[in-house]
Amino acid sequence: MDAVQMDSKTSPFRQTNGGDGGQDQCIWSSPGWGCKIDIGRQIFCNRSLNMKNIVAVGFDMDYTLAQYMPETFESLAYNGTIRKLVYDLGYPPELLKWSFDWKYMVRGLVLDKKRGNILKMDRHKYVKVAYHGFTEISKEEKMATYGNTLLRDSFDEPDYALIDTLFSLAEAYLFAQLVDFKDKNSTKVPDGADYSRMYKDVRAAVDLCHRDGTLKQMVEKDPGKYINEDLHIVPMLKMLRDSGRATFLVTNSLWDYTNVVMNFLCEKRTMNGSSPCNYDWLENFNVVITGSAKPGFFHEENRSTLFEVEPESGMLLNTDNGSPIPQMGSTSPRLPPNGMKKACRVFQGGSVGHLHKLLSVEASSQVLYVGDHIYGDILRSKKVLGWRTMLVVPELEREVELLWKSRDIRKELQMLRKQRDLIEDQIHHLKWSLKFECLDDGKKLKLSSELKDLELQRDKVRLRHQVGQRECHQKFHKVWGQLMKTGYQNSRFAHQVERFACLYTSQVTNLSLYSPDKYYRPGEDYMSHESDIVIV
């Protein structure tokens, strides 16, 4: 990726002087749009995308349209998983006293199942930060374990687990707790439970929580406790539809849960202002597909049956690849609720081939899909289909704001690094002279004294640099640092974003801040901004 600085020459914002010494205002200069956009709400671009060529815009639901509150929703998932481990999988009752720190884990980490380690690595798969449970691994041990292999480790399944969704943070935290627990109480874990077995048990417990419906039932009772309210979702969808584009929803959640969540998000904000607890939110979409079983949904050879969902009863009706089939008995599809401008059909299952047919899409490049999951939403739709993609990264809003606020310390770190490199060059030159040049004793003594002074000076600069690095690192996250950087390199997570996401942003509704016909171009890119944060 080309290096791009956040300045007035390459930023998609026109900088204006605020006059108060604070952050300059960023004003979008696209003709005819003219809205102010905070830096944390910017849409960043990896590959050119002309929205005029997009005929259909699709969305995932969970953690895309619906942003869950980690302090409540992930804690709910964590507590449910603990109960499954204790009551179903034989773990000791004292686990029930554990609590979840929802701020500790971040996306982009890798769990080493065999060793009980949690890793953060750069784009080249060099491990830069490593913990065993909650204990930091020394640089020497880290190099011995992950840096001296003849063959590069892929850090993929089955020996590793990728923490690439916000849904995975609770299970990663629980895994770290179990690692520490086993190290201190090896006799209290189930017989034969090594680190890999414990991770497998955690995954099984998580699956049990989702299968028995406990989590979704709690959300249904009080959606506002677990889902952030976003007043901009309906206006964004209306803007896209008014611009002549089709909109669709593809989610792995089934119809009953999808209807609850979307009713909450669109409550009292539907086009006709009707009351909640109905199906008015469907008027914001052309097609809704539930129970899609992504990422398998994106494979064209997928032969999953497509059923039509009757919204009022939740009944599944047979279709002929999306075309209605006369139903036996008294059951028949009902007409859409009165007041809908256009009927939205709801389906379950099927594959991307069915979706293209329902939307009358002629080319995959005419579809933009917005999701939060690198592998489940973005990689498959981009790599297999050639869809255009936008990744939602909620953490990005805070990250870019911190990046801006830390610009002074990052400039200082850059100067210290240059100063250190200059001194290192002088030291190397003096050592070369002392070793290979013919010098008299007086000259050698003088050069040796200069060498010692330079080495002391280098050590002072290096210490200042290390202290500054640590301070800057901890401004982003006290343990894992910056999400998109590891050392001087992009993090592995950032590398995945760069490879598979055409666009990426902090919130799905940031789309509404830009013209629906905008031409996104590379250079509007956060990850390539200079970041002098190094983990030492």
CA atoms within 13 A on the CB side of 411: 6
For residue 295, whether the previous peptide bond is cis, meaning omega lies within 30 degrees of 0, is yes
Q: Which residues pair with 191 in a beta bridge?
A: none
Residues across the chain: 536
Closest C-alpha among 252, 240, 353 to residue 295: 252
Output phi, psi for 441, to 5 deg: -60, -40
Report the relative pairing of strands 345-349 and 306-309 from DSSP bridges.
antiparallel
Q: At what angle do helices 169-184 and 195-211 cross, to 10 degrees?
A: 140
Helix then strand count (H, E) for the chain reads 14, 22
| Exposure class string for 371-387: b at 16+ Cβ within 10 A, else e | bbbbebbbbbbbeebeb
Closest C-alpha among 236, 355, 258 to residue 299: 355
Closest C-alpha among 43, 23, 123, 37 to residue 407: 23
| Exposure class string for 440-468: b at 16+ Cβ within 10 A, else e | eeeeeeebeeebeebeeebeebbeebeeb
Strands (E), 366-491: 367-371, 388-392, 485-486, 489-490
Q: Is 2 annotated as belonging to a binding site?
A: no
What DSSP state is assigned to residue 303?
-
Write the CB contacts of 23 (distance below 8 Å, at least 6 apart in sequence).
Answer: 39, 404
112 is annotated as an active-site residue: no
Output phi, psi for 117, to 5 deg: -105, 155
Q: Is 532 annotated as belonging to a binding site?
A: no
SS (H, E, C) 388-410: EEEEECCCHHHHHHHHHHCHHHH
- Between the two ends of the chain, the Cα-to-Cα distance in Å is 25
Give dist(CA 435, CA 444) in Å, integer. Answer: 10
3-state secondary structure of 350: coil
Choose the catalytic residue: 62, 164, 377, 525. 62
Q: Quote the distance between the C-alpha of residue 480 and its chain's center.
A: 15
Q: Which residues pair with 247 in a beta bridge?
A: 57
Give dist(CA 208, CA 86) in Å, integer. Answer: 13
Q: Is 62 annotated as belonging to a binding site?
A: yes
CA atoms within 13 A on the CB side of 449: 5
Choose the catalytic residue: 60, 122, 164, 525. 60
Give dist(CA 245, CA 242) in Å, integer. Answer: 7
183 is annotated as an active-site residue: no
Write out the catalytic residue numbers: 60, 62
Residue set of the binding site = 60, 62, 372
